[in-house]
Amino acid sequence: MTRTRKDELCGQGPPGRFAAGEDPAKREQIIDGAKRIFMKLGFDAASMNDITREAGVSKGTIYVYFQNKEDLFAAMVERERQRITSAMQDVLQGSEEVEDGLFRFGMGFAAHTTSPGVIRAMRTMTGVVDRMPGLCQQFFSSPANIRTVLQAFIERHVMLGTLKVEDTDLAARQFIELSSGMFFKFRLFGELNDVPPKEELERVVRSAVKVFMAAYGTVEKPAMVKMAEPA
C-alpha cells in the first residue's frame, strides 16, 4: 500500500492539508449554505439536498462534518450565539463609564435583535423548540451569551463601586428587557414590520439606562443649593 493511500485511510493527508472533517473553512462553507436554506425554507422544509446545492459541496462531504440536519442546524445556532456574544463583548470593551457602557450595550442589543436576519433566525428556531428543546436552552443559557456578557460588566462596576447590585444575573435580565422596549417581541410576531428608527431606539435605551441607574447606581446627584432670600 502506498504511503499516500495509507495516510488517507488513517485520516492524515499530505502536509498542509486538513484531515477529513477538520477543515474550518469547509465547515463554515457548509454552515453558510445551510443558514441560507434554513432562513429561506425553514427547518422542516429544508433538505440535505437543498443544503448540498447551496453550499456547493457533495452530500458525502456534509456527512463527514455533520451527522444529520439537526446537527447542522445546531451548529448554525451555536455559531450565531458565539458571533453575537463576541460582538457585544467588543461593544463593552473599554467602557469605563457605567452609563456609557449600558447605553452602548443597549443600542447594540436592540439593533441586533430587531434586524431582519435575527428575526428570521428566531422564527426558525422557535419552530423547532418542541422537538429540540436543548438547542434553545443552550442558546439562552450557555455559560457565554449576551446576558452573561452584560452580567460581567455589571459585576465589574459593582467592584468599582459605581453600582450596588445584589443579584447581577437578575439585573442583567432586567436591563435587557428594558432596553429592548418590546421591539424584539413586536418584530418577532409581526406587530412591527421593520427595524425601529434609530431615534426611537435611542429614546428607549436612554430611558432604560436612567431606570437602571435609579435602581442600582451609587453616585447621588448633588442636591440643589437653595438660594438665600433677599434681605
In the chain, what are the domain boundaries?
17-66, 77-218
- Look at the pTM and tell me if it is higher than 0.85: no
Region 115-124: mean pLDDT is 80
pLDDT at 16 over 80: no
C-alpha span between 183 and 113 (Å, rounded)? 8
Q: What percent of the chain has pLDDT over 70?
A: 81
Mean pLDDT of the chain: 82
C-alpha span between 142 and 81 (Å, rounded)? 9
Under 8 Å CB-to-CB from 44, ≥6 apart: which residues? 127
First to last CA, the chain: 110
Q: In this predicted structure, what is the pLDDT of residue 140?
A: 62
Residue 115 backbone phi and psi in degrees, to 5: -70, 150
- Where residue 167 falls among pLDDT bands split at 50, 70, 90? very high
- Where residue 212 falls among pLDDT bands split at 50, 70, 90? very high
Q: Give the residue from 77, 68, 21, 74 showing the smallest Cα distance to 47.
A: 68
Q: What percent of the chain has pLDDT over 90?
A: 43
Query: Is residue 31 within 8 Å of 72, Cβ to Cβ?
Result: yes
Q: In this predicted structure, what is the pLDDT of residue 136?
A: 65
Integer CA distances (angstroms), 95 to 103, 176, 204, in order = 10, 18, 20
Q: Higher model confidence: residue 139 or residue 155?
A: 155
Under 8 Å CB-to-CB from 197, ≥6 apart: which residues? none
pLDDT at 219 over 80: no
pLDDT at 105 over 90: yes
pLDDT at 227 over 80: no
Q: In this predicted structure, what is the pLDDT of residue 87?
A: 87
Q: May I ask the CATH class of domain 17-66?
A: mainly alpha
Residue 231 DSSP SS3: coil
The residue assigned the cell 453600582 is: 163
Q: Higher model confidence: residue 36 or residue 20?
A: 36
Any idea of the CA torsion for 142, 146, 147, 152, to the nearest 10 degrees?
Answer: 100
Under 8 Å CB-to-CB from 110, ≥6 apart: which residues? 179, 180, 181, 183, 184, 196, 201, 204, 205
Other Cβ atoms within 10 Å of 212 Cβ, number = 22
Q: Higher model confidence: residue 231 or residue 75?
A: 75
Q: In this predicted structure, what is the pLDDT of residue 229?
A: 46
Residue 228 DSSP SS3: coil
Q: In this predicted structure, what is the pLDDT of residue 85?
A: 87
Lowest mean pLDDT among 88-102, 194-208, 217-231: 217-231
Q: Give the residue from 109, 122, 99 showing the smallest Cα distance to 149.
A: 109
CATH domain 77-218 topology? Tetracycline Repressor; domain 2 (1.10.357)
Q: Which residues is 163 bridged to in the sheet?
A: 217
Q: In this predicted structure, what is the pLDDT of residue 141?
A: 61
- Where residue 215 falls among pLDDT bands split at 50, 70, 90? very high
- Where residue 144 falls among pLDDT bands split at 50, 70, 90? low
C-alpha span between 70 and 52 (Å, rounded)? 15
Q: In this predicted structure, what is the pLDDT of residue 176?
A: 92
Region 141-155: mean pLDDT is 84
